[in-house]
């Protein structure tokens, strides 16, 4: 409906299409308007069904939805329909661009952006104030320097502000340029200041995005760690510690996770799915809650078996450096991992017999 509505708006502005298809375009426009108006009322009616609706009560839930980002976008989306009733579809279709706001609901990245901007608003505001100061100072200086040579262009500070904004944003239309040597030096400084301001903005937003993504990843990993029975007995403090170190990884069925003979760089916990340790005569299946890849980390020997994803699986990987750090800090976890490695045929005990002096010293 959105694509149809915006397509109609665009087609409406082409004189040839408008005259050839006016009835079809108007009919299509009415259908889209009716659809969006209906959507608004249905969403409003259904709002109490959202999580937490029973606690809030029906009308409070509706009010909360109407004031939410989605509710406001849907209300704005109903405006072209209202305008069509008053002014006719030909005029109202020019305002159909507001339907593009309805896409906000389907763009999760925009929600992240909204959060990033809200979190970094102080830093962004500081840079914006710096931008305004540089803008005013450069316009005033340009006015002082250039008004003698170009009174029609730099005859007032508001007129010089246009030059300052075009230069500070590094757009440079070229319609207004300083002619005096001093004016050109000023222009160079303003251009470089513009780059600095935008670099600062980009840096603040990029850092905000990275933090937000790390936070989301932390929550997702926490969720996954909570599903691994191995971590059930440990307290929240240990889980928080572990979550920081574990990295979620997805493997499709048939993917080789660990190859026999390869050096060990991390161990894995199975969250969901199943992996097969390819041993002779029978492979060993490991499911949710179990772990593998610890032997090579404990002994320093190469991987003693190939491990393949039997089905699509979600794993949590623990890097060798973090493995050592974690086991050093949490002797209880170290004991469970050591015991399991000893228990596994072909595990740590047997491997340690084959361990070279170099491997032993590396492990120590």
Minimal distance, residue 299 CB to ligand CMP, in Å: 8
Q: Which residues sit opposite 313 in a β-bridge?
A: 251
By CB under 6 A, tell whether 310 contacts ligand CMP.
Answer: no
By CB under 6 A, tell whether 144 contacts ligand CMP.
Answer: no
Minimal distance, residue 267 CB to ligand CMP, in Å: 7
Task: Supply 202's token pair.
Answer: 């980009």
Q: In what order do the strands lie in the sheet with 306-309?
A: 256-258, 306-309, 275-278, 284-286
- Cβ proximity to ligand CMP, 73 vs 266, nearer residue: 266
Minimal distance, residue 320 CB to ligand CMP, in Å: 10
By CB under 6 A, tell whether 300 contacts ligand CMP.
Answer: no
Instruction: By CB under 6 A, name the one of 284, 320, 336, 349 that touches ligand CMP.
Output: 284
Strand 313-319 with 275-278, pairing: unpaired
Task: Supply 36's token pair.
Answer: 């969006």
Distances in Å between the Cα of 97 and the Cα atoms of 6, 8, 68 are 7, 10, 20
What number of residues does the chain have?
364
Candidates 121-129, 146-154, 239-247, 299-307; binding stretch for ligand CMP (CB under 6 A): 299-307
By CB under 6 A, tell whether 295 contacts ligand CMP.
Answer: yes
- Cβ proximity to ligand CMP, 5 vs 293, nearer residue: 293
Instruction: By CB under 6 A, name the one of 25, 92, 307, 308 that touches ligand CMP.
Output: 307
- DSSP tally for the chain: helices H, then strands E: 17, 8
Instruction: By CB under 6 A, name the one of 187, 305, 309, 326 that touches ligand CMP.
Output: 305
By CB under 6 A, tell whether 304 contacts ligand CMP.
Answer: yes
Binding mask 123-142 vs ligand CMP (x if CB under 6 A, - otherwise)? --------------------
Instruction: By CB under 6 A, name the one of 71, 178, 264, 300 that touches ligand CMP.
Output: 264
By CB under 6 A, tell whether 246 contacts ligand CMP.
Answer: no
Decide: 298 and 348 in contact? Cβ < 8 Å: yes
Residue nearest to ligand CMP (CB): 296
Q: Is 268 helix (H, G, I), strand (E, B) or coil?
A: strand
Helices 121-146/157-168 angle, 10° precision: 120
By CB under 6 A, tell whether 258 contacts ligand CMP.
Answer: yes
Q: What is the rounded distance in angstroms from the CA atom of residue 230 to the CA atom of residue 92?
A: 62
Q: What is the rounded distance in angstroms from the CA atom of residue 352 to the CA atom of residue 350?
A: 5
The b-or-e profile of 62-100 (16+ CB within 10 A means b, else e) is bebbbeeeebebbbbbbbbbebbeeeebeebbebbebbe
| Nearest Cα residue to 307 out of 332, 273, 275, 262 | 275
- Cβ proximity to ligand CMP, 179 vs 285, nearer residue: 285
- Cβ proximity to ligand CMP, 77 vs 347, nearer residue: 347
Minimal distance, residue 41 CB to ligand CMP, in Å: 59
- Cβ proximity to ligand CMP, 13 vs 356, nearer residue: 356
Q: Which residues bind ligand CMP (CB under 6 A)?
A: 258, 264, 277, 279, 284, 292-296, 303-305, 307, 344-347
């Amino acid at each position: 409906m959105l694509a149809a509505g915006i397509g109609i708006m665009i087609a409406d502005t082409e004189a040839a299409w408008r005259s050839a298809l006016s009835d079809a375009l108007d009919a299509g426009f009415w259908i889209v308007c009716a659809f969006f108006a209906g959507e608004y009322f249905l969403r409003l009616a259904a709002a109490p069904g959202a999580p937490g609706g029973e606690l809030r009560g029906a009308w409070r839930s509706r009010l909360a939805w109407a004031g939410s980002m989605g509710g406001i976008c849907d209300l704005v989306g109903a405006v072209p329909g209202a305008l069509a009733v008053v002014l006719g579809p030909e005029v109202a279709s020019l305002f159909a661009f507001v339907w593009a706001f309805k896409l906000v609901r389907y763009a999760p990245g925009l929600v992240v952006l909204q959060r990033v901007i809200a979190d970094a608003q102080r830093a962004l505001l500081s840079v914006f104030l710096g931008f305004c100061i540089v803008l005013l100072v450069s316009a005033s200086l340009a006015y002082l320097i250039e008004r003698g040579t170009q009174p029609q262009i730099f005859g007032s500070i508001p007129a010089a502000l246009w030059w300052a904004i075009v230069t500070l944003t590094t757009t440079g239309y070229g319609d207004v340029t300083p002619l005096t040597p001093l004016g050109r030096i000023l222009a160079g400084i303003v251009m470089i200041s513009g780059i600095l301001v935008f670099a600062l903005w980009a840096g603040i937003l990029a850092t905000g995005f990275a933090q937000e993504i790390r936070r989301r990843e932390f929550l997702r990993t926490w969720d996954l760690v909570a599903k691994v029975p191995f971590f059930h007995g440990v307290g929240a403090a240990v889980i928080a510690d572990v979550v920081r170190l574990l990295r979620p990884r997805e493997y499709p069925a048939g993917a080789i996770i660990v190859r026999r003979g390869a050096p060990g760089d991390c161990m894995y916990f199975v969250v969901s799915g199943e992996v097969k340790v390819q041993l002779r005569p029978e492979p060993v299946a490991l499911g949710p809650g179990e772990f593998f890849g610890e032997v090579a980390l404990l002994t320093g020997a190469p991987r003693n078996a190939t491990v393949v994803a039997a089905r699509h699986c979600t794993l949590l990987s623990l890097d060798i450096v973090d493995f050592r750090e974690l086991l050093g800090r949490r002797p209880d976890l170290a004991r469970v991992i050591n015991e399991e490695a000893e228990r596994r045929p072909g595990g740590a005990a047997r491997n340690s017999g084959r361990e070279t002096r170099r491997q032993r010293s590396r492990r120590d």
